[in-house]
């Protein structure tokens, strides 16, 4: 990393299995590493999808008892230290605990003939969520629906006692099944357990090293706070939502990384992010294409991003953890509230705001009630007028 910002060595860079398979020379992984065309257990290796500091991820074909494509992750030769094996085992155990349609599943595991551990995951042929949304020119509502499914997957992980700690677009893939777009959360390589140890072997974080991706880290991750909890994932979800809405990150990546560790920490820990509407406006010439990829114009998108669509990501990204959404489920609920026009959890507590939302959601009922009220008032007025006239006539006759 640049200028003193150190990020923990990742287990791989492409667990997400992108659409275009990456071919990496086998020689780069050292002697004894099978290449495409080789075999690990019942799995025929087709191509290399990616690599990290200590593992290789292959696209492989399972030949029995069912025939299917999978992603196979195996430790590199010479990298099988106790710490690496512990981290590798923790990731495999994490995936084994999770069973949700929006999380890539683990199918199998074992060891190569040389004794190096591997495990086999669901192969997701998809794009990072931001790329998918832009290529398909999805509307704000469609993006929110996809994002809500990501929140549901993360909520499942949290309920199992797992904090992802590296939520970002490349770890949230979208693939299609027929006409349906389905999100899949991948890469639990640096996940943290909150309930039980993920492996019998000791797993530790090296002091002074940041765990995660800088642009998506919450303040407590930057400060290496020991009691990291699920609200760190809420912060990262807020950054992801911000990016889906505006086409940019809340803090400029180049500024974050080029200013050195102290500047990076100051920005994340102390500086409040600009509102999404301001951020989009500040992008000048870039704003037009961003709006087009959301099926609208700049002026309309800026107007859409004001108020409610700003409140949601900014609440998720609050510096004080206690002021964020309490859970990924609550964040998902607020997305649902926005989509149906209900008052937001992130919104003000004022009676006027909540009454206004109630009226807008029930316009037909309010309109009908208003018509009935007007008719009743008119009828009462007419009755009073006739009664007064009749009284006056009687008085004049008398």
132 with 233, same domain: the answer is: yes
In the predicted structure, residue 136 carries a pLDDT above the cut 90? yes
Inside any domain, residue 357: no
Q: Which candidate in 15, 166, 187, 334 is catalytic?
A: 166
Name the residue range of residue 374's domain.
Answer: 362-398
Inside any domain, residue 8: no
Domain-terminating residue out of 122, 143, 172: 122
Inside any domain, residue 356: no
In the predicted structure, residue 376 carries a pLDDT above the cut 80? no
45 with 92, same domain: the answer is: yes
112 with 137, same domain: the answer is: no
Between CA 206 and CA 48 the distance in angstroms is 29
107 with 166, same domain: the answer is: no
pLDDT at residue 358, rounded to an integer: 46
pLDDT in tens, 232-275: 999 999 999 999 999 999 998 888 878 788 888 899 999 999 99
- CATH number of the domain to which 85 belongs: 3.30.200.20
168 with 295, same domain: the answer is: yes
Active site residue 229: no
109 with 190, same domain: the answer is: no
96 with 241, same domain: the answer is: no
Counting the structural domains of the chain, the total is 3
pLDDT at residue 3, rounded to an integer: 34
Contact 75, 85 (CB under 8 A): yes
Domain-terminating residue out of 61, 95, 122: 122
pTM to 2 decimal places: 0.80
Inside any domain, residue 354: no
pLDDT in tens, 189-217: 888 877 655 544 433 344 456 778 889 99
398 with 326, same domain: the answer is: no
112 with 135, same domain: the answer is: no
280 with 158, same domain: the answer is: yes
Inside any domain, residue 371: yes
263 with 327, same domain: the answer is: yes
215 with 317, same domain: the answer is: yes
């Amino acid at each position: 990393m640049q200028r003193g910002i150190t990020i923990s060595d990742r287990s791989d860079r492409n667990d997400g299995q992108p659409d275009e398979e990456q071919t990496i020379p086998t020689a780069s992984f050292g002697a004894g590493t099978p290449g495409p065309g080789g075999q690990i257990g019942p799995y025929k290796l087709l191509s290399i999808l990616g690599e990290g500091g200590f593992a290789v991820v292959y696209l492989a074909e399972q030949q029995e008892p069912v025939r299917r494509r999978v992603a196979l992750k195996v430790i590199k030769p010479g990298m099988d230290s106790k710490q690496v094996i512990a981290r590798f085992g923790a990731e495999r155990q994490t995936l084994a605990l999770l069973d949700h349609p929006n999380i890539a599943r683990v199918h199998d595991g074992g060891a190569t003939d040389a004794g190096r551990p591997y495990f086999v995951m669901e192969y997701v042929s998809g794009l990072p969520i931001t790329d998918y949304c832009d290529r398909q020119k999805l509307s704000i509502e469609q993006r929110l629906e996809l994002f809500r499914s990501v929140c549901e997957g993360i909520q499942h992980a949290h309920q199992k006692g797992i904090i992802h700690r590296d939520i970002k677009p490349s770890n949230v893939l979208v693939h299609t099944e027929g006409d349906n777009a389905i999100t899949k959360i991948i890469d639990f390589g640096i996940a943290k357990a909150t309930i039980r140890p993920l492996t019998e072997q000791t797993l530790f974080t090296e002091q002074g090293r940041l765990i995660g991706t800088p642009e998506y880290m919450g303040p407590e991750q930057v400060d290496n706070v020991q009691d990291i909890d699920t609200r760190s994932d809420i912060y990262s979800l807020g950054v992801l939502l911000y990016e889906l809405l505006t086409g940019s990150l809340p803090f400029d990546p180049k500024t974050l990384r080029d200013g050195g560790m102290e500047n990076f920490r100051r920005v994340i820990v102390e500086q409040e992010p600009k509102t999404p509407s301001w951020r989009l406006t500040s992008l000048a010439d870039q704003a037009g294409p961003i709006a087009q990829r959301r099926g609208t114009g700049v002026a309309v998108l800026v107007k859409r991003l004001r108020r409610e669509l700003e409140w949601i990501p900014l609440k998720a990204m609050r510096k004080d953890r206690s002021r964020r959404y309490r859970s990924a489920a609550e964040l998902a609920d607020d997305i649902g509230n926005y989509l149906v026009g209900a008052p937001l959890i992130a919104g003000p507590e004022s009676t006027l705001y909540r009454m206004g939302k109630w009226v807008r959601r029930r316009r037909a009922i309010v309109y009908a009630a208003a018509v009935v009220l007007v008719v009743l008032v008119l009828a009462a007025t007419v009755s009073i007028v006739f009664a007064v006239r009749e009284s006056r006539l009687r008085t004049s006759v008398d």
